[in-house]
Structures are given as C-alpha cells and as structure tokens.
Structure 1
Amino acid sequence: MKKLLVFLIAVLTLSTILAGCSGGEKTSSGDAKDAKDVKQEMVVNAKTEPPAIDPAKATDTTSGWILDHIFEGLYTRDKEGNPVLGAAKDVKISEDGKTYTFTLREDAKWSDGSPVTASDFEYAWKRVLNPETGSAFAFYLYYIKGAEDYNKGKGSEGDVAIKAEDDHTFVVELNSPLGYFDSLLTLWTFDPVKKDLVEGNKNWSADANNYVSNGPFKMTKWEHDNQVIIEKNTEYYAKDEVNLDKVTFKMVGEATTYYQMFKTKEFDLVITLPTDVIDAERKNDEYLEVPYYGTYMYMFNTEKEPFNNQKVRKAFAMAIDRETLAKNVSKAGETPAYSMVPLGAETPEGDFRKVGGDYIEENYDEAKKLLEEGMKEEGWATLPEVTLMYNTDENHKKIAEAVQEMIKVNLGVNIKLNNQEWATYLDTTKQHNYQMARMGWIGVFVDPVVNLDYYLGDSPNNRTGWVNEEFDRIMAESKVEQDPEKRFQLLHDAEEILMTDLPFMPVYHYTNNYLVSQNFEDIAYYVNRYPALKWAKKVSQ
C-alpha cells in the first residue's frame, strides 16, 4: 500500500521534473530535538563517476543528483516535488502566456559570496544553446523564441529572446504558451553559471578547486572514481533549511559490495539493491520502493546490420519475456514495458499509458517468422553477428544475460555480451559504435512529451540513428497545441509511429529501491530524481 500511495501522490501532483512523493519519506524513531548534538554528515552511494558536473553538459542521473544539490535555478522544488520559486522571488507572466519576467532575490549569492545576477542566467542559457558547447540537452530550450535556430546554426545569439534587463530582472519570451514551463525550469540545464569562472578555465567543472555554485551545498572535493564531497553553502539564502553539513557521494559500482557497506554502516543510503537480497529486505524497515518515471530499454542501432531492418528489430522485441525479467531477474517491483511512456501521466481521458495501451505482443513463433522475413529482405543466409552492450553493473549484467538466453531460446540467435564503464559507455553509444545497447530514460517531469522527445531525429540523446520526419512533425505540433485533448492525441499518434518502427526494445518501467538508515529523516523521494537531501537531518547515531 505504501508503494501505491507514493505512486498516486505522484500522479495527482503531475507536476514536474520531480513530480514527487513525500509519502515515501523515511523518518527515524530517534528524537529530532537531539539532532543538534549529532554530527550532521551523510554518506551515500552514487555508484559511478559522474561524467559531467556541469549544468550545460550533464545528461545522466548521477551527475544530475549532485548538480541538484549544488545549484539552483529560477525555480526549484519543494519536498513534494512541486515547482516553487528558487533564485527568483517573483515572476510575472504576460496575458498571452509567452513572456515571463523574473525578479531575482536580492540575497541570491554564489558560494564565494558574490551576487547571482540576471546576467548569470542569460549567459548560462546562451552557453547551453551555443553550438560550440555541444549540450545534449539544448533542445529543452527550444521553447524559447530564437533558441532552436541559434543552436542549429541558423540564427544568431542575439536572436534568442532572453535578456537581463538589470541585475535582478530576467525576461524570457517563448514561441507559444507552455503550461509546464515552471516544471521545465527545475531541470539543471537551466541553472546559472558564473561567466568569469567558466571562461577563465575550460576545465572549470572537472575539479572542486575554485568551483563556485549557488545551491544549498557547494562541492569541496572531487576524488575522481572515488568520491565527491559537498558541504553546506553558508551563502545560500535558505541555509537555515539545510541541516546536513556534509554529504559524501561514494562511487562503488559492485552491488554486493555496496550492500554490505550499508550493512556495516559505511553507507547511510544506497540505491538499487542486489537482486538476490530484495525479497528478504522488503521486510526491513530501512527498505523503500518508489516509482521512477522512466523506461529501461535496449536501443537498436538502425544504421548497422542487422537492426537496419524493422522486422528484425520487431522480432527481437517480441522474443523476450518481460514479466520474467521484471519479477524474477530484476525483482525490484518494476512494471513490464510494452511502450515508451510509463504509467503516471494524467490526461483528460485518464492515464496516458492506460489510454494508449500496449504496443508489443510477446509471440515467439511470430518473432521467428519476422526474423526469417527480415533476413530474406536483406539477402542474408545467416544473421549478422550481434553484440549486446551494457554499462558495467551487476544488475545490468544479470538482465543482459537473461535477455541473451531468451533470444537464444525464442529466436535461435546467439548474441554476445560486452560491457563498459559508464563514462566510456556514454561516449561509445554517442558515437553510434554499437549494435544493441542498454539505456534508460527518465522524464524530467511527468508528461509523455519528455519520454518521446528522446527519439526526435535531431536529439543528441537519440543514439539509434532512427529519424522519422512524421514523428518529428507530430512532436513539434504537440508542443504548440493548447487544447489538452488534442495535444495528448498527438502524443499518442507519435508514440504509435515510434512503436511501429521500433528503434528500441522496451524492457520495463522503473521502480527505485533504496536502503536508508533510520538515523535520518526528512529525505524527499521523487518519481524522476534520486533523493533530495536538502532537508535531510541526522537525528541519532
């Protein structure tokens, strides 16, 4: 019931990048009044080295987890995950819904004590859009007038309709009204950065030395491949809300190891338990499951054999048993995925997923038939050799091995497995140097548009080589459609095109599982972010 309650809260708030649930908050039986006598430090496991602690360049959940604690945008989130004003104290929206005028807080400061200004936001957003930056999340700014043309080299920086009118006034003009603009602005891509810092050192974000940010914490140490340490930012305007003096993000990737480290109290919070302990840990008061608004999948490289053929892609997608993968292999409470968009996005007609239904049927005989037809179309006497890639992780390995066996039994195809460390893996897939590869995509807020955006033809995140002009056209149309029913119908139409061509194979929709020390309270759990520690408090040793 606790898991269901958390999910329902998330659906009803339907708000944000973190449309969240505080219903899953862990509290301690200790007396909070004694917290002042307790050393306010926490050690959590990030599992991997964050590829980029830079708001313009981060695309992954590990980097995002740290960025969410050391930076703050015009909007931030409350404990329930709802968007609330952050570095801005006020916003006025024009009658046509296109122009936002933000007034920044007078007490918004960088961690070095200097003021955060509207120019810092203008510089940061234009830096994201600058083609030379190479931001994979630049498309999130395309709602702004002139932004897309500048990012694609068709316009100039001066055409981008964002402007710092003075130190505290920041004006943004959109192409059309956007009902979820406040939620969008909680994404780290919209955080400010300090111009003199960034331009004074091209490697400014790779080291904690001289690193400056404006969030509730500041980064004080980065020992690569070992740990990132953040400490309370005493210049933060709401520093009194921050209880922890120090948070250490360790990087232990082997699940059994970090599980044991939690048991020996070396970790206060771990994410993604080893599959063989989950059933037993569900009885533990320190165990928690929270729905996670995203999809675990295997991408197909449509530019490489054999996945240049749609029938071969569909055959692979029909040949795995998702129920078994979710319940018997992963075991973390995930939902088998027969689509891209998960449950949780409410529409006028009901939940988007329930209205749209399933798109994939698991039918092994039909899969074999499709495989034969695809091979015949390509003139292959035998199927080209296939390698499935995944990023190094014990649970990813188990799922990949199970998929490998299912493909062998149900399709008669032997596939090889290969794994790489996360940062290397991201670069390899970005270069399209793979055939079939694991990926996950979490919605930056709870709306089908952010799930489907992944497969836009010009999205840097789409690493499949798949481009469908009709899909792109419908997605673009959905972003300016003001009628909710028509907008969601367009998104259904786009998903149908995606699930017909199948440049990927959905496996399951996520659930996050945690072990959290009962020495802590006021941790906020969101449906599309890792836990927020801004309010966390240690109440006992």
Structure 2
Amino acid sequence: MISPVKWLATILVCILALTACTSGEKEATSTSSITLNAQTEPPSLDPALAIDTTSGWILDHLFEGLYKKDARGRVVKGVAEKVKVAKDGKTYIFSLKKNARWSDGSPLKAKDFEYAWKRVLSPKTASQFAIYLYYLKGGEAYNKGKGTAEDVGVKATGAHTLKVTLENPVAYFPELLTFWVTYPVKEKVVNQHPKNWFASAQTLVSNGAYQLKEWKHNERVIATKNPYYEAKKGIAMERIRWEMVDDSKTAYQMFKTKKLDVVTDLPADLLVKEKRSEEYKSTPYFGTYMYMLNVKKKPFTNVKIRKAFNLAIDRESLVKHVTRGGQKPAMAFVPYGFKTPTKGDFRQEERSYLQEDVKKARQLLKEGMKEEGWSKLPPIEITYNTDENHKAIAEAVQGMVKKNLGVDVKLTNQEWKVYLNTLSQKDYQMARMGWTGVIVDPVVFLDYYLGDSPNNQTGWVNKKYDHLMMQAKQEQNEENRLKLLHQAEGILMKDLPFIPIYYYSQNGLVQSDWENIVFRTNRNPDVRWATQKK
C-alpha cells in the first residue's frame, strides 16, 4: 500500500496553487467536495465481479439500477420509470426512463440490463455473486452450464422495455435490484477492453450520479457528478474523493487535521475517546463479524473441535474490552435488524445458540482429538486482512484459545486483495470475514453458506440446509418462510463451519460542518446529498 506521505509534497503544491492533483482540473470548493477513506484499493469496479464493501461503496455512487434507495432509505424507482407486475408475482415489465444516459452521453437502453445480467450469470464471467440472479427463470441453470443465455428470464422487448421473469415470486425483489450486481454495463465498452474496462477513468463508463474521474491505484479514487445523470439536480455533492489509508490511526490523524471528512474505521482506544464528541456517529449495521473454519483442513475437519473453539471464546468480553464500539455478541449467524410481521426481530425469536463454556469446550476438544487419533493438534493459524481492529480481535481470540484450550495459534495478516485470493483458494485454516446482507432479510444472509455458494469458502456442504433454503425461497406464507429459515440456521449452528464473533455497528467520525450524509444499515455512507453547514 502506497503511503500518503509519498505524495505529501505534491499535495502541498496543489494547496498553494489552489488546484487539484488531477490532470490540471480545478479543485472543487469545500462546499462541493468531500474526502472519504476507502482504507484499501477496491479489488474491482466491475459490478459483476465486485464482492466486497469497499468496491460496492464506490459502485453505488457510480451506477444505478432499476431501483435505488433515496435519502430516507426507501426503495424507489431508479432507471425504471414505470413497473408492471403480473398477478402471480413472477413477471415484471419495466419501462425505462427515455432520458437515461451513460456517462459518455450515449442512451441507456433495456438491452444494457439484459446484457449485464446475462454476463453475471455466464459461467465464463465466474461472478461470485451470480447466486443473487438465481431468482431469474433459468438463471441458475445457465450459471451452472445446464441451460443457455436465451433461457434466462430477462429480455429487452423494446428500446426502453425490459421483461423479467422469475422462477417464483420474491417479495423483496425491488430491493434486490438496488444491489450492484444488477447494475447495467455497456456491452461495447466491455468488448473493447474485456479484461480491464473497469480499471481506469479512461475506460469505465457508468450510468449513476457520478462518473469516475481518476483512479490512481493504491492511492485514491475520485468521482465527479455525472453531467448526463437524469436526476443530477437532486444531487448536492459535486465531487467525492476516496483515499486509501489502511492504517486506522493514520486515518484518524488525517481526520483531525481535516484531510479526511469521514472515517469509518477507528481503533478501540480512539473510539472510546471520541464517543462523546459531536463528530462521533454510531448506527446499527446488518452484519456479522466471524471467523470461517476450513472444514477440509485439519483440525477443523472435526465438528467437535469446531464447536470447542466456538465455546472457548468469550464474546461478551470481546465487545466490552476489545472492540468497544457498541457491537453485540454474536451467538448465531443472522444479525439483529430484520423485523418479522408478527414476532418482532428475527434474531429475538432464536436469540442464542452459543454461550462460552470452557469446561465443555475442553471436553469436546479431547473427544475430537481422540476421534482423529491425535495426541496433539496440528499447527493452527488465524489469517486476517491488515487492519488494527482485526489484529486486536485476532490477538484476543488467540489469547482465549490458549487460556481456555491450551492451544497455541499463529497469526498472519495480508493486504486485502491478496487476502481475498487466499480465501478463494481456500488456502487457510481459520480466517476473518465480515458479512452484511445485500438486503435486510435473513434469506440473503443464510445464502452465504449454501453448498454451491462461491462466497462459502469453508468447504462445508449440507444437503438438508440447502433444501430448507430452497423451500424458504419458494414459500409464500411469511410465517412458514421464517420457520424454514430458523430451521436452516439451526443446522448451520450445529455443524459450525464458522465462529460468529459479534454483530456489527457502524462507528465513525464526521467533520462537524457536514450534514445530510446517509448511514445505511447494510452499506457504507452515502454522500450524494451531503452538504456543509453555512
């Protein structure tokens, strides 16, 4: 990661000259430019290939789907102007806005959505998020090489008309269409630069509120308002700058010297220090922090050993003394935040599957080792991506495992992009991961551990779990659907191919002169409507 110090001199020159460091472009005034911290290089700005919240944060500002979320968090029409839904809930007819444009000024057409969605599902694309388009008729079959693109239920029937056919009705389908994997992409641009069309401002063409102005890899991303965006009058922010500062203490100092306007990752000690300041922001977040366990690598091939590690961790102590940011201990997978029609929160219905129990953990470890014929455990390593908070949590877990099980654990950290590759290769034993629902619903959360989900990098497959999830997606009675989801989660919590640690809260700092920054429950801050106080 290139340090901001290496280009400090250039910044100083630019400040003195009152110009920006971007191809001679004039710096926007303080009222129309905001600086954020992406922390790391976004692995991909291709909507089909992005699988992380860093990439998604930028994509959500560059692109727009058929639906979008407004400043109040409501799902509203995006590129779609009119929508007709068949009585059976399986067919949608979208009429697109005729003045919708790409950032190069060319018209956006219905075929751009058809192309983009089929590209996500194409086996050649190898999109890890293709699973979210399995709701389309023929989508799963095509993705698995058992069907054709022509069989997929998305078809441009006119220049501005898109017909979408689902396998089964999906109540939350409009919200799903706010997710970046459903964004349109321009076929001509992809074909001209198939391997890197999304990697530079010169080739990336988008359709949202912003266009990519600069991407200096490993240093910064700059986006400016898209002059062709049909709703540009409703967008307050002219320019967004994402720095890439992976050291949270450095980012904090940059915030204090007003080089960053928003920081969303603070070390626990600074979090406590800032809790009473007017700049401190804390909001609920529909996500779970966890450690994945590779069930194909010893010792986590044994379910009793997996459970022993789960029971040896004091989650209450972790959130109270280590993270200290208002997180809740995770005793299951699905976090708090989904309100059921009749019984309150989904999580409250089945609040806890796990409690720290050192005595039982030691007994399970002993039994597991006996089953495997081991006199001692194989060497164990926790892998995590470089970050002060991840390091602190890993060290705390390392200490608890040593104290409660007498097991030594090695810690290894990797830069984010390298880390993602390590996970995809399943080259780990125990690895940190965080997961947020792309929409606030348990089903898209539990999809993570489906046997054929590319996101499930643990090697764990349970046919009963997969069957229950399939039933839940087809069930139209909401009470019965939630029962099926609870049953599926129960199987997951019995086999434990992971260790849930805590349910997220989103904590950070915002300069006191900013307002109208939107903090969502499952996304990074949206700054489209951000303004500075007069």
Fold-level match, TM-score > 0.5?
Answer: yes
| Paired residues of 1:80 and 1:526 also in contact (CA < 8 A) | no
Give the corresponding residue for 2:405.
411
CA distance in 1, matches of 2:176, 2:209: 20
Give the corresponding residue for 1:215.
208
Change (3 A) 1:281 1:153: same
Give SS of 2:212's match: strand
Give the corresponding residue for 2:197.
204
1:109 alignment partner AA: R
Give the corresponding residue for 2:358.
364
Give SS of 2:519's match: strand
Q: CA deviation at 1:38?
A: 5.1
Corresponding residue to 2:127 among 127, 135, 145: 135
Query: What is the CA deviation profile of residues 164-187 of structure 1, one whole-angstrom value per residue up to 9, with x for unaligned ones?
Result: 011100000011111100010000
Instruction: Confirm whether residue 275 of structure 1 aligns to residue 268 of structure 2.
Output: yes
Give SS of 1:530's match: coil
Instruction: Confirm whether residue 84 of structure 1 aligns to residue 71 of structure 2.
Output: no
Give the corresponding residue for 1:174.
166
Instruction: Confirm whether residue 341 of structure 1 aligns to residue 307 of structure 2.
Output: no
CA distance in 2, matches of 1:526, 1:292: 7
Corresponding residue to 1:484 among 478, 489, 495: 478
Give SS of 1:67's match: helix
Instruction: Confirm whether residue 304 of structure 1 aligns to residue 292 of structure 2.
Output: no
Give SS of 1:163's match: strand
1:244 alignment partner AA: M
2:200 alignment partner AA: D
Where do residues 38-187 of structure 1 align in structure 2 (5 Å cutoff)?
39-187=31-179
CA distance in 2, matches of 1:494, 1:464: 17
Q: CA deviation at 1:310?
A: 0.2
CA distance in 1, matches of 2:280, 2:351: 32
CA distance in 2, matches of 1:405, 1:279: 22
CA RMSD of aligned residues (A): 1.0
CA distance in 1, matches of 2:279, 2:32: 19
Instruction: Confirm whether residue 355 of structure 1 aligns to residue 349 of structure 2.
Output: yes
Tell me which moved more, 141-150 or 271-280: 271-280
Change (3 A) 1:508 1:37: closer
Instruction: Confirm whether residue 424 of structure 1 aligns to residue 418 of structure 2.
Output: yes
Query: What is the CA deviation profile of residues 20-45 of structure 1, one whole-angstrom value per residue up to 9, with x for unaligned ones?
Result: xxxxxxxxxxxxxxxx9854111010
Instruction: Confirm whether residue 466 of structure 1 aligns to residue 460 of structure 2.
Output: yes
CA distance in 2, matches of 1:80, 1:445: 15
Identity %: 54
CA distance in 1, matches of 2:440, 2:72: 13
1:500 alignment partner AA: K
CA distance in 2, matches of 1:82, 1:138: 25
Runs of 4+ aligned structure 1 residues displaced above 3 Å come to 36-39
Instruction: Confirm whether residue 513 of structure 1 aligns to residue 525 of structure 2.
Output: no
Instruction: Confirm whether residue 532 of structure 1 aligns to residue 522 of structure 2.
Output: no
Task: Kindly tell me the number of residue pairs found equivalent between the two proteins.
Answer: 505
Q: CA deviation at 1:357?
A: 2.0
CA distance in 1, matches of 2:387, 2:302: 30
CA distance in 1, matches of 2:501, 2:203: 43
Give the corresponding residue for 1:291.
284
Give SS of 1:437's match: strand
RCO comparison, higher one (Cα < 8 Å, 6+):
1
Query: What is the CA deviation profile of residues 81-115 of structure 1, one whole-angstrom value per residue up to 9, with x for unaligned ones?
Result: 22110011110000111100000001110001111
CA distance in 1, matches of 2:193, 2:50: 18
CA distance in 2, matches of 1:526, 1:381: 49
Give SS of 2:464's match: helix
In structure 1, runs of 5+ residues without a counterpart are: 1-35
Query: What is the CA deviation profile of residues 279-314 of structure 1, one whole-angstrom value per residue up to 9, with x for unaligned ones?
Result: 221110010001110100000000000000000000
1:537 alignment partner AA: T
CA distance in 2, matches of 1:37, 1:197: 32
Q: CA deviation at 1:349?
A: 2.2
Give the corresponding residue for 2:244.
251
CA distance in 2, matches of 1:538, 1:130: 44
Give SS of 1:113's match: coil
| Paired residues of 2:266 and 2:508 also in contact (CA < 8 A) | yes
Query: What is the CA deviation profile of residues 15-66 of structure 1, one whole-angstrom value per residue up to 9, with x for unaligned ones?
Result: xxxxxxxxxxxxxxxxxxxxx9854111010101100111000010000000
CA distance in 2, matches of 1:377, 1:473: 29
| Paired residues of 2:451 and 2:462 also in contact (CA < 8 A) | yes
CA distance in 2, matches of 1:53, 1:282: 34
Give the corresponding residue for 1:229.
222
CA distance in 1, matches of 2:46, 2:531: 27
CA distance in 2, matches of 1:367, 1:444: 34
1:215 alignment partner AA: G
CA distance in 2, matches of 1:214, 1:538: 26
Give the corresponding residue for 2:16.
none
| Paired residues of 2:294 and 2:457 also in contact (CA < 8 A) | yes
| Paired residues of 1:38 and 1:539 also in contact (CA < 8 A) | no
In structure 2, runs of 5+ residues without a counterpart are: 1-27
Tell me which moved more, 422-431 or 347-356: 347-356
Q: CA deviation at 1:344?
A: 1.2
CA distance in 2, matches of 1:290, 1:38: 26
Q: CA deviation at 1:80?
A: 2.0
Give SS of 1:418's match: strand
Corresponding residue to 2:443 among 433, 444, 449: 449
